[in-house]
Amino acid sequence: MLTLPRWSAALSLGVVAALALTACAPASSEDPTEPPAETAGASDDETGDEAPAQAEGTLKVGYISPITGNFAVAGQEMVDGWNLYWEINGNEVNGVTVETIVEDDAGNPEISLTKARKLVESDQVDVVVGPLLANTALAVAEYTSSVGVPNLHPVAAADDLTQRAANDFTVRSGSMSGSQANYPGGVWAADQGHETAVTLCPDYAFGWESCAGFKQGFEQNGGEVTAQFWYPNGTSDFSTYVSQLQSAGADIAYVATAGGAPGPDFMRSFLGLGLKDTQPLLMNCCSMDQATLRAMGTEVLGIHSVSNWAEGRDAPEVAEFNAAYAERYDGKIPSLNVAGGYVTASQVAQVLAENGLVTGDELVAAISATTFEDSILGKTVFDEYNNPVSPVYIREVQEVDGQLLNVPIETFDAVDQWLGMDPEEAMARPNYSQQFQG
Amino acid sequence: MFEPVFLAQQALNGLSFGALLFLLASGLTLVFGLQRIVNLAHGAFYMLGGYIGLVIATLTGNLLLAVVVAMIAVGVTAFVVEVGLLRFVRGQEMPEVLLTIGVMFVVADLCLAIFGGDPKTLPAAASIQGAMSIGGLIYPWYRIFVIGVAVVIGIALALVQTKTRVGAIVRAGVDDRETISAMGVNIGWVFTGMFVVGGALAALSGTIGSGVISVRPGIQNEVLMYALVVIILGGLGSIKGAAVGAVLIGLIDAFAKAWIPELAYFTIFAPMALVLVFRPSGLFGRAT
């Protein structure tokens, strides 16, 4: 009685295994024959780069973003920004059609890498854009550079992408490194006459880099950071940290989050303790983005933050971008993630318009060599590590025509990623951590 | 770090977060006590209640109305889940638990589709504004209100359990289902009723909690984890245990994050692990 089902189970297992084998066999026997043919074609293409014959007319883009999982909102925004540009301007530039394949990595570096391999090997894309999170971005950049495929980063902030791991195939197109974007915040805070500061950042690479940027900007200009607090990812109730900020009693508090719920959750505790009128505060990009403004409403009017994106900047290109996004997305105003995707698309378009179809490291070199005068992020050039040198804005939440916007109240032009050092000196130091803040 | 004002503020931080944990865990522990199933959809009920409460609070600016509507809506949802789904697998532990996981996924995804991905918090108009000020100590009224609600709900649940006929039936059901049904009580409907009450309590904590931590995709797992830790620490099925466990975790979490920040990742779990080592059934649990 007992042996029969077992036998049948073993049998069916055997059948399944056999089926799987036969199903795989033709595929795997086909595979070895196909790639040589294709790689031959590809290498032909590379050697004959000056006269691109086969691929003329299409730039195939693989776009990796976490559109499911915990970072789904940010990931979807990054995709929306990219698509928005092509919807407005059409996906044909200078005779080149831009084709996009979107892949979801769910914010997991292993999946990112698998998707990057799939895009490069089976879809044969010319360029990989994304992904979003620092660890996924570093993993994909390492792979794409090893196979000679350009990799554009609309949002990822990890310092090393354009520092210790910089290469000719990787460009940070739409964002800034974590320390770079926050360094001017420290400079500004010191300029305001604040002598002491306390910081609160998330306890992982993005937070260490953000806090390090602020701290060095502040201390190089005569301020002193008297206490630094670190909260674990996943913190929801910030009251205990707000009490510590208050107890530290510094002239200004600097607070960073990586976007999403921590921004409103921190503000809820901060406002609850009545600190808005007594404790000067500077937030980073993502803790005061549009999601926070939508959640908190007029309660956050007047709050200051530092970012390379300011949706309230008075410039025609920003107004046009905001209006186009609002029209398609229920009147919402775009966040830094949308802006990053859009900026990356506009850079690709401008390079195609000026150079025709360029691929490989030539695409990266072309982006890096171009000056983007009218970028929605402000005038942007690139350093020799393919990192943007562009403005950073000190922003204030203001109500403009019934909408809450981050309006720039001070602009730091042409901010580079070296925090006042020379590149070799900066990269010889250890990576930022709780222990090393520069 | 040791000034009286700081200590008092941290104590209130811990107590108010603990109060929210108690509201959250009480429904879960009640359902577990009677039905012996861990309702893994509890976090999703919290989430659904939070979103519905926020919509009503935004529309009307009335927190009480928001809480009532959220409790009714989630109560009805829990009723449908119990009568339409759970009944068919009653008594089979694994299918029951798996079914509640399925309900969690469905509810959470529907919330994402309907309410979007933005984090949402209680609008200022519906919240309790201002801060209490005693000497140098300033503390928001809203968080004191959360403590008050938890005390009232806790006392009410304890009274119903010990002083009323309904409570007696429930307690009898916990001890011996067969005998209570032999005595002419339709235990099936008692189960349903308790499941609905559990859902309504989750909705209450979701709406009240949205003034402390924002409601967003993923919150269902986070609060479910908190609730599980609290009831494991306090003892499965015990209201008293949930109260003590919630306050303990709230206070330990608040002070440990200030004094030993290196342990910030473990402050929720360390007390649970310690209690499990020395009292595997939890502080107030009964060994079975």
Model confidence at B271: pLDDT above 90 = no
Residue of A98, A70, A94, A96 whose CA lies nearest to A85: A98
H or E, element range at A228: strand A224-231
pLDDT above 70 as % of chain B: 99
Model confidence at A24: pLDDT above 70 = no
**Predicted confidence (pLDDT) per residue in B183-214, tens digit:** 888 888 888 999 999 999 999 999 999 999 99
Q: Do B9 and A243 touch (CB under 8 A)?
A: yes
Q: Flag whether B255 is in a domain.
A: no
Model confidence at A250: pLDDT above 70 = yes
Which one of A80, A237, A242, A300 would you mutate to disrupt binding with B, by most B Cβ within 10 Å of its Cβ?
A: A237
- Which residue stretches of A109-255 are H helix? 109-121, 134-146, 178-191, 205-219, 239-248
Model confidence at A31: pLDDT above 60 = no
| pLDDT of the residue at B124 | 85
Query: How many structural domains compose chain B?
Result: 1
| pLDDT of the residue at B172 | 86
**A55-176+309-386 CATH fold:** Rossmann fold (3.40.50)
Report the distance separating Cα A171 and Cα A66, nearest Å.
20
Q: Flag whether B41 is in a domain.
A: yes
| pLDDT of the residue at A41 | 38
- The sheet carrying A151-152 orders its strands as A92-93, A96-104, A58-65, A127-129, A151-152, A170-171
Model confidence at A18: pLDDT above 70 = no
| pLDDT of the residue at B284 | 86
Query: Which structure tokens are listed for A225?
Result: 């950071």
Report residue A384 CA to chain centroid gap.
20
A409-416: average pLDDT: 96
Q: Decide if A342 contacts A320 (C-beta within 8 A).
A: no
Closest to A247 (Cβ–Cβ): which among B3, B120, B219?
B3
The backbone torsions φ and ψ at residue B141, rounded to the nearest 5 degrees and listed phi first, read: -60, -35
pTM: 0.88
Predicted confidence band of residue B288 (pLDDT cuts 50, 70, 90): low
Q: Do A264 and B258 touch (CB under 8 A)?
A: no
Chain A residue nearest residue B267, CA to CA: A232
Model confidence at A25: pLDDT above 60 = no
B113-131: average pLDDT: 89
| pLDDT of the residue at A148 | 95
pLDDT above 90 as % of chain B: 61
Query: Which structure tokens are listed for A70?
Result: 């915990």
> How many alpha carbons fall within 13 Å on the CB side of residue A418?
16
A358-381: average pLDDT: 95
Q: Decide if A102 contacts A341 (C-beta within 8 A).
A: no
Question: How many beta-carbon pairs under 8 angstroms link A with B?
Answer: 97
Q: Does B220 touch chain A (CB under 8 A)?
A: no
Q: Decide if A177 contacts A158 (C-beta within 8 A).
A: yes
Residue of B154, B119, B124, B155 whose CA lies nearest to B140: B124
Q: Tokens 């937030």 label which residue? A: A283
pLDDT above 90 as % of chain A: 81
A28 CB neighbour count, 10 Å cutoff: 9
B118 chain-A contacts, CB cut-off 8 A:
73, 291, 294-295
Which one of B2, B5, B13 would you mutate to disrupt binding with A, by most A Cβ within 10 Å of its Cβ?
A: B13
B274-281: average pLDDT: 88
pLDDT above 70 as % of chain A: 87
Report the distance separating Cα B205 and Cα A177, nearest Å.
40
A399-426: average pLDDT: 95
Q: Flag whether B274 is in a domain.
A: no
Q: Do B139 and A260 touch (CB under 8 A)?
A: no
Closest to B17 (Cβ–Cβ): which among A234, A239, A297?
A239
DSSP codes, A26-67:
HHHHHHHHHHHHHHHHHHHHHHTTTS--SSTTEEEEEEEE--
- Which residue stretches of A358-412 are H helix? 360-369
CATH 3.90.1150.10: does it fit domain A179-307+391-428?
no
| pLDDT of the residue at A33 | 35
Query: Which residues does A294 contact at the CB level (< 8 Å), separation at least 6?
Result: A332, A404, B118
Report residue A76 CA to chain centroid gap.
12
Report the distance separating Cα A91 and Cα B142, nearest Å.
52
B265 chain-A contacts, CB cut-off 8 A:
232
**Predicted confidence (pLDDT) per residue in A280-339, tens digit:** 999 999 999 999 999 999 999 999 999 999 999 999 999 999 999 999 999 999 999 999
Predicted confidence band of residue A56 (pLDDT cuts 50, 70, 90): low
| pLDDT of the residue at B174 | 79
Which one of A79, A199, A240, A301 would you mutate to disrupt binding with B, by most B Cβ within 10 Å of its Cβ?
A: A240
Query: Which structure tokens are listed for B125?
Result: 């108009």
Report the distance separating Cα A112 and Cα A131, nearest Å.
7
Residue of B118, B123, B39 whose CA lies nearest to B81: B39
* Burial class, A44, CB count within 10 angstroms (exposed 0-12 / middle 13-18 / buried 19+): exposed
Model confidence at A271: pLDDT above 90 = yes
Report the distance separating Cα B53 and Cα B62, nearest Å.
10
Residue of A156, A147, A154 whose CA lies nearest to A126: A147
Q: Tokens 């939440």 label which residue? A: A397
| pLDDT of the residue at A267 | 95
What's the domain range around B179? 22-220
**Predicted confidence (pLDDT) per residue in B207-242, tens digit:** 999 999 999 998 999 999 999 999 999 988 889 999
Predicted confidence band of residue A254 (pLDDT cuts 50, 70, 90): very high
Q: A55-176+309-386 and A179-307+391-428: same fold? A: yes
Chain B residue nearest residue A297, CA to CA: B123
Closest to B119 (Cβ–Cβ): which among A239, A291, A298?
A291
Regarding predicted confidence, which is higher, B136 or A180? A180
Residue of A345, A310, A202 whose CA lies nearest to A260: A202
Model confidence at A366: pLDDT above 80 = yes
> What residues does each domain of chain A span?
55-176+309-386, 179-307+391-428
**Predicted confidence (pLDDT) per residue in A70-123, tens digit:** 788 889 999 999 999 999 999 999 999 999 999 999 889 999 999 999 999 999
Size (chain B), residues: 288
Query: Of A24-33, A217-226, B132-141, B158-167, which gets the smallest average pLDDT?
Result: A24-33
* Mean residue pLDDT across chain A: 88
Model confidence at A16: pLDDT above 70 = no
Query: Which residues does A124 contact at the CB level (< 8 Å), separation at least 6?
Result: A38, A42, A60
Q: Does A263 touch chain B (CB under 8 A)?
A: yes
| pLDDT of the residue at A49 | 41
Instruction: Provide the 3-class DSSP secondary structure of residue A282.
Output: strand
Q: Do B140 and A273 touch (CB under 8 A)?
A: yes
**Predicted confidence (pLDDT) per residue in B52-106, tens digit:** 999 999 999 999 999 999 999 999 999 999 999 999 998 888 999 999 999 999 9
The backbone torsions φ and ψ at residue B170, rounded to the nearest 5 degrees and listed phi first, read: -65, -45
Chain B residue nearest residue A73, CA to CA: B117
Q: Do B261 and A263 touch (CB under 8 A)?
A: no
Query: Which structure tokens are listed for A2?
Result: 């007992």
Q: Flag whether B140 is in a domain.
A: yes
| pLDDT of the residue at B237 | 82
A241-245: average pLDDT: 95
| pLDDT of the residue at B262 | 83
Q: Which residues of chain B from 249 to 278 reach within 8 Å of chain A, CB to CB?
A: 253-255, 257-258, 261, 264-265
* Mean residue pLDDT across chain B: 91
Q: Flag whether B17 is in a domain.
A: no
B131 chain-A contacts, CB cut-off 8 A:
272-274
Regarding predicted confidence, which is higher, A120 or B162? A120
H or E, element range at B244: helix B239-259
Chain A residue nearest residue B254, CA to CA: A240
| pLDDT of the residue at B287 | 62
Report residue A269 CA to chain centroid gap.
28
| pLDDT of the residue at A331 | 92
